[in-house]
Amino acid sequence: MIEQIATLMTAAFAFVAALSWNQAILALIREFISQEEDWVSLMVVAIVITIIAVIASLMIARAASKAKGADAKAGK
């Protein structure tokens, strides 16, 4: 039960952080591509954030897999 609560709290903080990054990346793209919030800049932001999320997810999955393998070898 405690692990589930910790996971949910972590997800909530990650969501807030993602919203902040969304605004930061959007501001950066507006600076270099367009001053307006047109569909092109929104698509670029969505693509950049998706790429970051996929890379982070792969890294987390790989780390979790290695940790499970280490636990299995240790006999836990």
Q: What is the signed CA dihedral for 52, 54, 55, 60, rounded to 10 degrees? A: 120
| Domains held by the chain: number | 1
Instruction: Write the DSSP string, 17-74.
Output: HHHHHHHHHHHHHHHHT-SS--HHHHHHHHHHHHHHHHHHHHHHHHHHHHHHHHHHHH
pLDDT attached to residue 60: 84
pLDDT in tens, 24-63: 877 887 787 766 667 877 788 788 888 988 898 889 888 8
At residue 35, the pLDDT reads: 65
pLDDT tens sequence across 8-27: 888 888 888 888 888 887 78
18: closest CA among 52, 47, 41, 42? 52
Domain hosting 43: range is: 2-74
pLDDT of residue 37: 66
Q: Report if pTM > 0.75.
A: no
